[in-house]
Each structure stands twice: as C-alpha cells, then as structure tokens.
Amino acid sequence: MSPFEGLNMLQKSKLFNLLEVHKYKYKKNQEILPTLRHENIFGIILEGSADIISVDYEGNETIMEKLSKESLFNTYMNLINFEDYEIISKEDNTEVLIINYNILLRQDNSKHVYYNIFMNNLFNIINDNFRKMNEKVRILEKKTIRDRLLEFFEIEYKKTYRKIIELPFNLKDLADYIAVNRSAMFRELRNLKEERFITVKGKKITLLYKSNNFI
C-alpha cells in the first residue's frame, strides 16, 4: 500500500509543493532526523530502508519496525515518546520525505484532488498499521507462551481460513514478535506438537484443532 497510489508524477510533485515537504538523504547507519525531535512531523521513506529502534528506560535497544520504500513513520504524532526511538538508515542513498502535520491539515488543502487522494491513502495505511498493532496487543495480553501462540495462530488463521499458516519470518523472529524467550517458545511448540495441536515444517505450521469460532 503506497501513500502515493493513484497519483501521477505531476500530481506527486504538486503535492510535495503544497505540503512544503522536506527531503533528506542519508548514508548507511546514520540517524534520521536527530535534529527534528519534538517537531510535529511524520515521514515517508522514498528510497532505501531504515530501522526504528526502541530504547527503553534501561537503555536497551530493540528493533521495533523495519521501514522499507514508502513506509510511513511517526504517523501517530507521538511527540511524547519520540525521544525513545531512533531511526537508523540501513542503506546508502536512503531518502526520506518529511511532512509537517500543521501544513498537512490546513483546511484549504482539500480543494486539490491530489491532496484528497493522498489523504485517503494515508487514512488507509494508518488504519492498517492500527490493525496490526491491535493484533499484537491481543497476543501480548496473554500471560503464557501457549496462549500467545494459540492467539497468534487464531489471528493468522482468520486471514485465510486455511489450517496451514505460512510464517512471514523464521521461528526465532516469531519468538521476538510474541515477546517470549526463544528456547521457551521451542519448548512450548514441542508440547503443542506432542499434544497433536499442530505440526511444524520449516515456516509452515498446520493447525490440527478446531478454531474456537469457526470449524
């Protein structure tokens, strides 16, 4: 889902003009926007890629999100927590577009068709991110590893209604995603296998049980 979907080159350039965007280029492993903290802005990756790195109260760093071409970041205007994140470019020639919210939300922007198309796209992308975040909360609210796994399976199952779930990442990353210890997760996966709840073959997990709400 691209924020510029439905816009041709001319409209795109008019949009950038209207929104008084700024573009910045980075080499690999540079921090994006260290000087722009506390500003009321969000960004779009135009080229290259970057990682959002979360720094917790102890200073521990973890990769929160991997940004690729056309990913948005800082869309939730989290002025409060912006200090807790670092965004680091992962390639040379990483280019980002910065948009100011105050300019974005000016009333009279909406007389331009290209602006309205762009806003619809933003709306959809943010909604989609919100849905993903919501899925994650549902999983993390579970107290046991087993419950987190089963909730994850349930959510994935309902995306296709197929009993075979193809993981978008490896098992180690799954452990990170559901925020549990890797070896403890393997232990629990083994239990689920032995109890004939699932089978695991590489990145394919097959559910052998009835989902709660569906057959």
Partner DNA sequence: TTATGAAAGTTGCAATTGCAACTTGTAAAT
Partner DNA sequence: ATTTACAAGTTGCAATTGCAACTTTCATAA
Question: Where along the sequence are the contacts to a second copy (CB under 8 A)?
Answer: 54-59, 62, 75-78, 80-81, 83-84, 105, 107, 110-111, 113, 116-117, 119-120, 122-124, 126-131, 133-138, 140-143, 147, 150-151, 153-155, 158-159, 179-181, 211-213
The item of DNA, a second copy, none sharing an interface with residue 151, based on CB under 5 to 8 Å by kind, is: a second copy
Q: How far is the CB of 166 from DNA (least distance, A)?
A: 13
Q: How far is the CB of 25 from a second copy (least distance, A)?
A: 27
The item of DNA, a second copy, none sharing an interface with residue 84, based on CB under 5 to 8 Å by kind, is: a second copy
Given the structure tokens 């929160």, which residue do they identify?
64
Interface pick for DNA out of 66, 203, 204, 208 (rule CB under 7 A) = 203
Interface pick for DNA out of 172, 204, 208, 209 (rule CB under 7 A) = 172
> Which span (10-18, 45-53, 153-161, 166-174) binds DNA, by CB under 7 A?
166-174
Residues with Cβ within 8 Å of 155's Cβ and at least 6 positions away in sequence, in order, are 135, 138, 139
The item of a second copy, DNA, none sharing an interface with residue 188, based on CB under 5 to 8 Å by kind, is: DNA
- Indicate whether 2 belongs to the interface with DNA (CB under 7 A): no
Residues that bind DNA (CB under 7 A): 143-146, 170-172, 179-190, 200, 202-203
